[in-house]
Amino acid sequence: MHPRPLIAATAGLTVLTAALTGCGIIGGQSADLQIYSARHYDLEGAFGQFTDETGITVEFISGDDAELLERLKAEGADTPADIFLTVDAGNLWNAARQGELAELDSPVLEDAVPEDLRDAQGQWYGLAMRARTVTYNPDAVDPAEFDTTETYAGLADPKWKGRLCMRDATSAYTQSLVASLIDLHGREEALKIVQGWVANDVEIMGNDVLLLEAIDAGSCDVGINNHYYLARTLAENPDLNVDLFWASQEGAGTHVNISGAGVVEGSDNAEDAQRLIEWLATDGQNAFVDGNHEYPVNPAAAPEPLIAEFGEFKRMPLNAEAYGDLNAEAVDLLAEAGYK
């Protein structure tokens, strides 16, 4: 490298950086509302419809919840974000606890969202609901084998030895299910349940779709899945040999979790932000949840046809504080039980 190439390289670098700046890629927002979203399913559709109806433009970036929350905290009052949209009640609870979400006073939302699916102070509101329940291969399992009162705990019974498949301990789904078991039964009892799964040689899978494929292939008899993965896989392959069983219907009900949103404390357009959340919880419910086969939180909205076929079910009331507060304990418990 002679002097000229070296200078050329430096000059080129400067020009490129300037080009990136010029493109407006270095910061700068163009829409009325900015959203940080840890939820990815076809947001464009719902937001596009909102813009058509109200004229308010929306842009979003997707990311991981924990990272986006740290970004919100670091940006503080200068944040460009107006809405924080995330998955898992524990994440919403945590964002509120860290003081990143503003308290809303919205009769519309209080009316649309059931009490346990929103924050008492109005810092966040659930908008879409997923159920985590038992799935099975009908060739290998008679649904009468399931414990109808304590279905999750019942899988610790030795009769399921070598027949179980579940998600990994790093999965938020596993953690919040175990957190709800701790909330329901106390730590000691919950530990026994998880130890029972481990003693049954539970096979750990890296994602829900693999789990469903394993049940379909017959290498597992029973798994625990989010209902929409089953719906999605069924939509692609109607012959999938997997059925759904609503857990604990004669007991506490099936474990559910939510996606939800809150207005960011540092928002400079809180009014429009609230309007969007209200729209998502009412007129926009189906646009927001149907694409991902989730249940609307608003009882006035109907679930889409494919999941309507799963039938109605009783859900375990959602205790966001327990999910959030007990999540750390769930992680610890899973490690103690040797659940990987």
Residues 57-116 that bind other proteins (CB under 8 A): 59-68, 70-71, 74-76, 78-80, 90-91, 94
Strands 222-226 and 125-136: antiparallel
Min dist CB 163 to other proteins, Å, is: 13
- Rounded-to-integer distance, Cα 141 and Cα 136, Å: 7
> What angle do helix axes 172-185 and 89-97 make, rounded to 10 degrees?
80
Task: Please list the residues that pair with 167 across neighbouring strands.
Answer: 205
What residues from 251 to 280 belong to the interface with other proteins (CB under 8 A)? none
The yes or no reply on residue 27 touching other proteins (CB under 8 A) is yes
Q: Is residue 240 within the footprint of other proteins (CB under 8 A)?
A: no
Q: Which two tokens stand for residue 168?
A: 């990994």
Q: How far apart are CA 157 and CA 231, in angstroms?
A: 28
Choices 24-32, 138-146, 149-157, 254-262; region in contact with other proteins by CB under 8 A: 24-32
Q: In degrees rounded to 5, what are phi and psi of residue 91?
A: -65, -40
CB of residue 299 to other proteins, shortest distance in Å:
27
- Binding to other proteins in span 281-340, by CB under 8 A: 324, 327-328, 330-332, 335-336, 340
CA nearest neighbour of 134 among 148, 119, 114, 118: 148
198 binds other proteins (CB under 8 A): no
Cα distance between residue 44 and residue 5, in whole Å = 45
What is the distance in angstroms between the CA of the first residue and the CA of the last residue of the chain? Answer: 52
Residues 159-188 interacting with other proteins (rule: CB under 8 A): 168-170, 172, 175
Is 48 a binding residue for other proteins by CB under 8 A? The answer is no
Size of the site for other proteins (CB under 8 A): 73
Give the burial class of 55: count Cβ atoms within 10 A of its Cβ; 0-12 exposed, 13-18 middle, 19 or more buried: exposed
Nearest distance in Å: CB 217, other proteins: 4
Distance (Å, rounded) from C-alpha 4 to C-alpha 14?
Answer: 15
Query: In terms of CB distance, is 103 or 168 closer to other proteins?
Result: 168
Considering the complex, what minimum distance in angstroms separates the CB of residue 25 from other proteins?
5
- Per rule CB under 8 A, is residue 207 in the interface with other proteins? yes
For position 210 contacting other proteins by CB under 8 A, the verdict is yes
Q: Which is nearer to other proteins, 106 or 232 (CB)?
A: 232
Should residue 17 be labelled a site residue for other proteins when binding is judged by CB under 8 A? yes
